[in-house]
Chains A and B, each alone.
Chain A
Amino acid sequence: MNYLKEERLNALAAEYVVGTLRGKARTRYQKLMMQYQAVSDATAQWEQYLTGFAETLPPVTPPDSVWESIQVKLGHKAANDTEFVDQTTNAKPSSDNVIDLEKEKQKRWKNLSFISTAAALVLAVLLFMMQPVPTPEVSHIAVVNNADNAPLWVIEVSDTTMNVKVTDAFVALADKDYELWMVPANGEAPISLGLMPEVNGDTRATPDILLDQSIAALAVSLEAPGGSVTGAPTEVLYIAPIVSV
């Protein structure tokens, strides 16, 4: 099926926005949105067409607890703190109870990247040694470890294919998907390489972009089902250095 034929694309975009495109078809469509600008544009067009339905609903003010919870989750305010901690752009909350998400995230990235570098190198060597006849075309390998240093996915990259294997340590979440990203060495925004398999594994074509660009690392983010809607990772969980073998 050629998803990019305009008519088919239009119908799919409309049903995606309406919400009647469900299950795996919805997930597939979300992947297409990330891959093709035309799909993303058609979706935006339909969102614009149909938003009038939503915007004409009589407004309902949410309970105050919703805003409270948003602020706490964003780290703008401590839990149980009845006053605004801070409303200015640059000042930092003074309470020790306030978790600075950005700092925490940076710390986690650093720790994760250090641990996963070591683990990936050990595993890369192990995997290399375990294969008496190494597949000649595999040029790079990456191992995605969780915070406990257990490998969740093993990724083998050749010029033509990218093979992603799921380990037994991986536990799928019903309401979340995991998305793979490549982090360009030049500091540009991460580029999505699609959703991670959650059972057994899969083999996909190696994206040209992966071969063309110098890569700092691969990253895996936690996303709503179907993956990031925005084209940027929502919550980066793991970083895996990519090493040549």
Chain B
Amino acid sequence: MIAIASIVTAGVTTGFGTMAPALAEGRAVANALTSLAQQPDASATITRTLFVGLAMIESTAIYCFVVSMILIFANPFWNHFLTLTSGK
């Protein structure tokens, strides 16, 4: 029961958790491309700021991934319930 719930939750977490950052990164890159086209001289600054911004946006997706991994592989409740059910 716990296994089913945690695996389903892990799947949903990863699914939802990658949609919003992808949309946000798309918008960020689109704006960066527009500003690069308008001012190619500042391309070093724009590129660096773009990468920093992308890393910050990506980190929320990484949080969702880490939570899913914890649910699947390092689930803190499995051992507890395993000992409960095997003790009966």
| A and B assemble together | no
Residues of B within 8 A of A (CB): none
